[in-house]
Chain A
Amino acid sequence: MDITFDQVSYIYQPNSPFEYRALKDLSFSIPSGSFVAVIGHTGSGKSTLIQHLNGLLKPTKGTVTLGEYQLKAKEKNKELRELREKVGVVFQYPEHQLFEETVAKDIAFGPRNFGVNEGEIDRRVNEAIQATHLDEELLERSPFDLSGGQMRRVAISGVLAMNPEVLVLDEPTAGLDPHGQKEIMEMFYDLHQKKKLTTVLVTHSMEDALAYADQVIILNKGEVYMQGSPLELFKKQKALEEVQLDVPEVIEFITKANEKLGADIEYTGQSIADLAKEMADFVRGGRDHE
């Protein structure tokens, strides 16, 4: 699903002393099937942006277009329900929203609410737990007896069971151990590719943006500060520092190494192993010259 923001502004509590402009004339477009990372420090407008993607918020000014749906200021949307069926949002700490008696019921809640028939619901629940690597035995357990990592998978399964075309992920790995973080991100990436989803990932992790996104949007004070491919953007250390963002650690290290050792190594997305070899060769080469 193509997503376009055209001159979108959003103001919280307009015409009051607390008036706060969270988004300012925001314009960008995300082609269907792309994996986009949205980055910005706290208060940059990321959460407000996300809530426009499934109509939880409507722009104060401007237009948000998602496929054939349009969200505009002061216009009532009859198709909001349809839109919400197609845009799945995994909020931060989604396990806090679990509430049903069993895992199966919790995962089925969304599609059941949208009137999907029972046979189809069963099929979707099974497909979802396969994608999230949840054991079938857990389906009849209470979600509250599960570990934190499992609870998060249940919550994600619930979003997947809606069969969304767009997946919006708000810091989906926060609070997980390193292994769990990697597993969840690999899972989303896999789904993204297999189901040809349009994925919007909100993250603080430059590493994840670098590893998975084909496009990065950097927000600052409610405006698009930079937009482009991760490799291209993450080389602009100064510009990123100005909005209190760090470059990914690998790029930071290469910059320092180049300065200290007088090397000329460039980051082109090579693996850590290849980079290590390049650096080792350089260090040894230096010795050979002398």
Chain B
Amino acid sequence: MDQSQIEFRNVSFRYQEDMPWVLRNVSFTIGADEWVAIIGHNGSGKSTIAKLMNGLLFPQEGKILVDGEEVTQDTLWEIRKRVGMVFQNPDNQFVGTTVRDDVAFGMENHGMPREVMIKRIKESLNAVGMTEFERHEPHRLSGGQKQRVAIASVLAVSPRYIILDEATAMLDPKGRKEILKTIRTVQEERELSLITITHDLQEVTQAERVIVMNGGEVWMESTPRDIFSKKDSLIEIGLDTPFVSKLADHMKDAGLELSREPLNHQELLEELWTSRSIK
């Protein structure tokens, strides 16, 4: 049986005993090579999920299994090799004085031999398109470039899973596009599962599957197309649908028939074009 997956089995978590539960009986599975987006309103428990996945926090109830192995104090270091994480603030994740040192840092922690490190630095900077910045100082890079280096640092350890916890939230639109493009390339070229935790609806439309969190519980698990067809319920739980979904909804209200829920401009334009050419 293929065990490469992250599984949450009836997980409940709270920060302190006298505080409300942040997660309640959460169960889901993220498979190999999948791109899963986790969305939900502020305080829905998204980021807690990320921290539980690589042992920054431990649940009071239930289990988290990475490739069949439970995340505990003892398995923590082994699991962090497999589950890499990129955080929201690009300025909070640098330790090295050059981009190269920074990418090396994670590998040093895992005690990798020097030859491997040199090779991996090249490969991972190449994967995120930052090779020419190898000797630059990280703090002088743009936000998007910083996050690409952060992704390279994670890639260098060669994880099976990468969690991006609102990694594009502090970037400008250009930086955001850079990161999305990088993520897509990396996901296509390597055997990796991606877990993106995000408020960015554009980012969500590109994932294969979406887990919607609400009030600490899994509210829904489905494809982006299916999720964004549920506009009213999404708005009720503090979320929204992308512009294209909204426009398509209003077109349906205006009596136009669409064959499926469009996810991007291209899909909606094709629907319109087809509609116009039918006699």
User: Which residues of A are at the interface with B, using a C-beta cutoff of 8 A?
Assistant: 41-43, 147-149, 174-182, 204, 244-246, 249-250, 252-253, 256-257, 260-261, 272-273, 275-277, 279-284, 286-287, 290
| Contact residues of B between 234 and 275, Cβ < 8 Å to A | 235, 238-240, 243-244, 246-251, 253-256, 265, 268-269, 272-273, 275
A177 surroundings in chain B (CB, below 8 A): 40-42, 199, 238-239
Q: How far is the CB of A32 from chain B (nearest CB, A)?
A: 30
CA distance A279 to B170 in the complex (A): 35
CA distance A180 to B19 in the complex (A): 23
CA distance A249 to B255 in the complex (A): 23
4 tightest Cβ-Cβ pairs between the two chains A and B? A276-B250, A178-B240, A179-B238, A280-B254
Pick the contact of A246 from B43, B173, B199, B201 — CB < 8 Å? B173
- Do the beta carbons of B243 and A249 come within 8 Å of each other? yes
Could you jot down 11 A-B contacts, CB within 8 Å?
A42-B142, A42-B172, A42-B175, A175-B169, A177-B40, A177-B41, A249-B243, A260-B272, A276-B248, A276-B250, A277-B251
Query: At the interface, yes or no: B174 with Cβ under 8 Å from chain A?
Result: yes
CA distance A257 to B249 in the complex (A): 17
Q: Is the interface of A mostly helix, strand, loop or mixed?
A: helix
A245 surroundings in chain B (CB, below 8 A): 173
User: Which residues of B are at the interface with A, using a C-beta cutoff of 8 A?
Assistant: 40-43, 88, 142-143, 166, 169-170, 172-175, 199, 201, 235, 238-240, 243-244, 246-251, 253-256, 265, 268-269, 272-273, 275-279
B166 surroundings in chain A (CB, below 8 A): 175
Q: Is the interface of B mostly helix, strand, loop or mixed?
A: helix
Q: How far is the CB of A212 from chain B (nearest CB, A)?
A: 17
| Given A272-B246, A281-B254, A286-B276, also A204-B41 (CB < 8 A) | no
- Do the beta carbons of A178 and B239 come within 8 Å of each other? yes
A148 surroundings in chain B (CB, below 8 A): 42-43
